[in-house]
Structure 1
Amino acid sequence: MTDSTQTPQASGAEHTIGAPANPQIVVTELSPTRVTGHVDLGPEHHTPYGTVHGGVYCTIVESLGSMAGGNAVAERGQYSVGVHNATDFIRPFDRGRVLVAAEAIQQGRTQQLWLISITAEESGKLLARGHLRLHNVDLPQTS
């Protein structure tokens, strides 16, 4: 019996590796300590093996966390930039809506730490979660 499914590496076939499409985050709640929303994921976000690429989850963590952090410090004339993104991939997912939530863990004068969770809407199962550390930066002065 032979296995008719071969990975690109095993088959010797040429293949390309590139970044999947950027996920479009729809924000439904925005406060200085919490941001929520959803993202619809599908084949344009897949690896060659048919599951959502881990880079998509990292992008969601970075994008949602940066939005949350920037919103938290905007009133004091600052914005925030990511300095460390640690994203854990919990289980594979192929398509559907995911719920995303960013919650502040620590918000200081110079840095913030946010926890971002990505959950399958249909099953309620956690797919990925990340911690994003942000550095708060003064907005440039305009003349």
Structure 2
Amino acid sequence: MNLTQEEILEQCTKMCKNTLMETLDISFCEVGKDYLVAKMPVTSKVHQPDGVLHGGAMVALAESVGSAASFMFLNAKDFYIRGIEISANHVKSVKEGNVYAKAEIIHNGRTTQLWDIKIRDEEHNLVSVVKLTTIALPKTK
């Protein structure tokens, strides 16, 4: 796909309309040759009852950025991208600010892709480490 970085970020933003990503205020903010970054504000909307970022919200952020990266880097207009396995280790609590998820490709196969996703706070502290496997399913006509 021969798009500029701005065009890739714009396409990612368009894909989020009326979705969980829009509900969680996830936005895409940086793209490189083999990575994509998304951010999510940490507000009461994504807190667990004791006032810290909910692990499920972090997993939703990670799957969102990894799946979007698969879609963008595969030139996947002829494919549906689906997450098929995800595992997360949460290592730090966050109460406010923003968190940033950076998806980097580990394996870019024709059918499956493996992503390493690190979530960090605004001070670049590691918050969560996520591994995501996506699958590219051909669209039938």
TM-score scaled by length of structure 1 = 0.76
**Number of equivalences:** 120
Q: Deviations over 1:66-110 (max 9, x none)?
A: 111111222572232110010110111111111221110100011
Amino acid at match of 1:55: G
Inter-partner Cα distance in structure 2 for 1:44 and 1:28: 21
Is 1:97 aligned to 2:98, yes or no? Answer: yes
Q: Deviations over 1:9-65 (max 9, x none)?
A: xxxxxxxxxxxx942221122356210132211111111111111100110111111
Inter-partner Cα distance in structure 2 for 1:76 and 1:51: 38
* Equivalent residue, structure 2, for 1:41: 42
Inter-partner Cα distance in structure 1 for 2:72 and 2:113: 12
* Equivalent residue, structure 2, for 1:78: 79
Amino acid at match of 1:140: T
Residues 1-143 of structure 1 mapped to structure 2, 5 A cutoff: 22-30=23-31, 33-75=34-76, 77-121=78-122, 123-141=123-141
Q: Which has the larger radius of gyration?
A: 1
C-alpha deviation, 1:140, in angstroms: 2.7
What percent identity do the matched residue pairs reach?
26
CA contact under 8 A between 2:24 and 2:45: conserved in structure 1? no
Amino acid at match of 1:51: V
TM-score scaled by length of structure 2 = 0.77
- SS class of match (1:109): coil
Change (3 A) 1:76 1:48: closer
Structure 2 segments unaligned to the other structure (5+ residues): 1-21
Change (3 A) 1:108 1:44: same
CA contact under 8 A between 1:31 and 1:71: conserved in structure 2? no
Structure 1 segments unaligned to the other structure (5+ residues): 1-20
Q: CA RMSD in A?
A: 1.9
- Name which of structure 1's ranges 99-108 and 25-34 shifts more when overlaid on structure 2: 25-34
Inter-partner Cα distance in structure 1 for 2:99 and 2:48: 17
Hey, which of these two has a bigger chunk of helix by percent?
Answer: 2
